[in-house]
Amino acid sequence: MVPQISVQLYSLREQAAVDYAGTIRAIAKMGFENVEPAGYPGTSVEEAAKLFADLGLKAPSCHGALPIGENKNQVIDDALTMGHQYVITGCPPDFKENYASADKVKAMVDLYCEAAENTAPHGLQVGYHNHDWDLVAVDGKPGYHYFLEGTPDSILWEADLFWVARAGIDPASFVKEIGVRGKCLHFKDGVVRAAAAVEVETAAGKVTVDDEVPFLPAGVGEVDLVAAAHAADDMEYAVVELDSYAGDMMKAVAESYSYLTSKGIATGRK
């Protein structure tokens, strides 16, 4: 079955902060049936849930805090209100500090196992979203191997294909390696090595790309998204995301939608 397309709303955080409802309506009009929230700038969980329901949008996944400690109940309650299946951390607790040693990675892994135990009774799964700095070697082996070895397959790994490529790893091979954990994948594109500013032609015109803003609409950059899609046997949701963009972000999201659906990587309403 062809995966469904979604969009990480962090991409449109600036627009949402000004006009949340208008931004979400524009996304729905593009053809998206799914979205992946990362906070609710300019609105609340309850208001967002109502807006999504009115527009026929679903939010199967989100980026949020790890449901542990005193935040546990709030994270779970919000996830149930929004109808999430998968609660994924945009970054792990303590960020890069988790990768200072094997022992620190293993301590982080224990937190994800605790979170999974907290969410399982509610029918929720937790997951991890990577960047490039968490794919480094730690005490002689890739840091993410400690994660895969120390957690059950029910804990997801939302591979960000751009950051995987920037870390020097083939995205298709990485997707194969994570296997059933890869239910949601970020189909992020861009210039993987942008040592100097370069001009790139997009459907909306030329944009300048450099290391500060290397992200591009899907299909315009250097990441082989098609090969990664062919390797993603367990993918349910192909998620559009751009951390930032030198051009019009709304157009970049629309262009990404068109590329991923036209290539048969994911399906939407149009």
pLDDT tens digit sequence for 251-260? 999 999 999 9
How many folded domains does the chain comprise? Answer: 1
- Would you say residue 103 lies in a domain? yes
Percent helix, strand, coil in the chain (nearest 5)?
Answer: 45, 20, 35
Q: What is the DSSP letter of 186?
A: E
**Average pLDDT of the residues in 14-42:** 97
Is residue 269 assigned to a domain? Answer: no
Q: Check residue 157 and give its pLDDT.
A: 98
Q: CB–CB of 225/218 below 8 Å?
A: yes
- Average pLDDT across the chain, whole number: 96
Q: How far is CA 240 from the centre of its chain?
A: 8
**Residue 210 clears pLDDT 90, i.e. is over it:** no
Alpha helices in 38-197 (DSSP H): 45-55, 72-82, 102-119, 143-150, 161-166, 171-178
pLDDT digits (tens, 9 = 90+) for 96-153: 999 999 999 999 999 999 999 999 999 999 999 999 999 999 999 999 999 999 999 9
Contacts of 264 by beta carbon, 8 Å cutoff, 6+ apart = 2
* Of 161, 157, 159, residue with least CA distance to 218: 161
Residue 74 belongs to some domain of the structure: yes
Domain hosting residue 230, numbered range? 4-262
Give the CATH number for residue 92: 3.20.20.150
- Examine residue 138 and state whether it is found in any structural domain, yes or no: yes
pTM for this entry: 0.96
Residue 52 forms part of a structural domain? yes
CA distances from 74 to 120, 146, 151 (A): 15, 29, 24
